[in-house]
Amino acid sequence: MYDCFGAGQQVSQVTFAGRDWRQDPQAAAQMFAAFAIMRQLHELLWYLAAALALVPARAVHDELRRALTATEAMTGSPVDALLELDIQAHRERVNAVLLQASELVRAQIPGGKPDYRGADLAGARLAHADLTGANLRGARLIGADLRRASFGLADLTGADLRTASLHGADLARSLFLSQSQLDAADGDTSTKLPPSLTRPAQWSPPAKSSTPTS
């Protein structure tokens, strides 16, 4: 499920002051271009707010706040200024401090931690895997078997979880997991989630055991 992080409303109600692209076709292309940038800014705001809630990352909280303030200011830019933003450069700057926050939090886990940043794990068999403290930023986990895997303090920023099986997985203390990632995955009522997220309505109940009873 697609999540615009509130960017659509910002563009229509603030950037374009309530103009409707359906009634103003000449503005449509400009509105769509503005939305593409605004959506990225709002996504960054979501990640920055999540990082600021992480107490172990307090050493970079000032940097996170500065990034948050700068990003918020960009969302209020006039459309011409918005379209001229170097959004890629801004994302890189923000992601650098977000990565620092992630590393500070994951440092609570002693010893080596799995590093799957950007890895292609599509269809991987990782049932029952201990992914505590893992770096899964940008990992491709499409269709992966993650049943009953443990994701304590694992960084899931941008991980592609489409059709991944999360039945019984423990995601309660995972980092930077978004609602849209959950909505694209497959889980059940035994999947443990962070309190800020909602269990997707389409998820199935846990499978019944086939063990005969006496």
Say what the pLDDT of residue 134 is: 97
**DSSP codes, 90-130:** HHHHHHHHHHHHHHHHHTTS-S---B-TT-B-TT-B-TT-B
The per-residue pLDDT string of the chain (214 residues; one tens digit each, 9 = 90 and over) reads 445 655 556 655 655 545 665 666 666 677 788 888 888 998 999 999 999 999 999 999 999 999 999 999 998 888 888 889 999 999 999 999 999 999 999 999 999 999 999 999 999 999 999 999 999 999 999 999 999 999 999 999 999 999 999 999 999 999 999 999 999 999 999 999 999 999 999 897 765 654 444 3
Tens digit of pLDDT for each residue in 94-124?
A: 999 999 999 999 999 999 999 999 999 999 9
Beta-bridge partners for 120: 140
Contacts of 78 (CB under 8 A, 6+ apart): 15
Contact of 118 with 139, CB cutoff 8 Å: yes
Say what the pLDDT of residue 21 is: 54
What domains appear along the chain, each with residue ranges and CATH number? 7-106 (no CATH), 111-202 (2.160.20.80)
Backbone angles phi, psi at 185, to 5 degrees: -95, 180
